[in-house]
Amino acid sequence: MMDLAELACSSLDWIRGQDPGVEAELYLARGEERGIELREGRLDHIQHAASEGAGLRVLAGGRMGFAWSGGLGVEGLRDLYRKVREQMGSLEPDPCKDFPSPEPARPDPVLAASLWDEGLFTAPLAACQDRLQAAAASAMSQDRRLGAMLRAGYGEARGEAVVANTRGVLARDRGASVSVGFSALAREGGEIQLGSAFQSACQAAPLDFDRTAAQACGRAAQLLGGRKLAGAERAVIFDPWAAGDILDLVCDLLCADQVQRGKSALAGAMGRQVGSSLATFRDDPRRLGGLGSCHHDDEGCPTSAKALIEGGVVRDYFYDTYTARKDRRPGNASAGRGSYKGLPGPMHSNFYLAPGIVSRESLITDTQDGLLVLEIMGMHMADPITGDFSVGVSGLAVEQGRLGPPVKKTMISGNILELLTRIDAVADDLTFYGSLGAPTFRVARMDVA
């Protein structure tokens, strides 16, 4: 198999020979994935796919062109360069367009080992089908109200990427991921309730099929008989499963490109208090076994952990090279790409709300009148400029420090900055779903209707 680093370096040498005044960057990637999905206990489909390709940026006279292509052949990369050069004359110059210079590498063999699993893509998927069916059957037997395990799925993926540029950057990363998910249906009388759960990791060993299936069934059954809460201002507790929607919004607001375009409620907030002292949000691209972990960002810069919001104060944004130059400050190795088909831009790695020191149980016990939110619907509709939101939620009432009856068809509304300011308790149960993580946390008061 062709070595990606050698291909990148030889291709850049060829580009230098074509035009010594041009700078260029290659992003080469290849990977494969496979998976199996069951529908109502029966095999629905099996898929196995592989892909490879290249993205090329070329910089000359302040103009930066980009093109991508599938495949990783020498002649294909040379054709890609010719294609980019043809478009350069029609582009507007931008003095902030640039490539990063090389920095000393910070290899971490322990991190590298935690992101890879040699055992993937070896066992037949039929064995995974048996595990999915067994886990579903066991979970469904725990409650007579459970009607069906609508979907069950297992997937594996692995890949590698190399970033190299004519300034001397040469970075390589590889990673793997494995996931399992279930979606269950519960029924009581004429009422139907759905519940889902998934677990993902870089290695197969931590995956717990039985626990994930039980979580999906539990989320479906526990909301049966739900009622709407009377409108009032009350404490709202966010379960880690639901909190991912909050984290997704916050990390988007911290991306420097959104800030610079005025499309973020956190624009101009650097150094400003925007949350309570318990609101600390960190990003750790070197978290062992993290789904977003990497030694380098997607421009080849060595990564490191950082606090974006610390004690409620905005300390940093996610920067790639371009947005950092626009703000006239150093970058922080936060460039990401959806694939070789896309340009780099500011992006999180493993983004999370820092855990507190109290237990989830004591946080609930300390709540007299509240709502434990287990699901959020519509947070993606929040206004990123004002931070205002109004979303549907379901969960459990909290009455005199105890979990009460299920709650459905309820709305919570407010502003994301007000939400951050009103965080008054954070538990110690930090849980990651994918590359976003949160512990259970409480907002002292919100409008519930």
- Which superfamily is assigned to 110-163+170-221 in CATH? PmbA/TldD superfamily (3.30.2290.10)
pLDDT at site 88: 92
CB-neighbour burial class of residue 107 (10 A; exposed 0-12, middle 13-18, buried 19+): exposed
pLDDT at site 126: 87
Whether CATH 1.20.1090.10 fits 4-36+47-107: no
Report d(CA 159, CA 228) in Å as an integer.
46
264 to each of 186, 387, 413, how far by Cα in Å? 40, 8, 18
pLDDT at site 1: 75
pLDDT at site 296: 97
Report d(CA 99, CA 11) in Å as an integer.
17
Q: For residues 175 and 293, is the Cβ–Cβ distance under 8 A?
A: yes
Q: For residues 363 and 442, is the Cβ–Cβ distance under 8 A?
A: yes
Among candidates 9, 171, 15, 168, which has minimal Cα distance to 84? Answer: 15
Residue intervals of the chain classified under CATH 3.30.2290.10 are 4-36+47-107, 110-163+170-221
For 233-250, the pLDDT digits (tens) are: 999 999 999 999 999 999
pLDDT at site 21: 87
Report d(CA 234, CA 444) in Å as an integer.
7
Residues of the chain with pLDDT under 70: none
Helix (H, G, I), strand (E, B) or coil at 363: helix
The amino acid occupying position 48 is H
Q: What phi-psi label fits residue 278: left (phi over 0), alpha (psi between -120 and 50 degrees) or beta?
A: alpha
CA dihedral over 303, 202, 310, 343, signed as positive or negative: positive
For 264-276, the pLDDT digits (tens) are: 999 999 999 999 9
Q: For residues 116 and 155, is the Cβ–Cβ distance under 8 A?
A: no
- % of the chain at pLDDT higher than 90: 96
pLDDT at site 383: 96
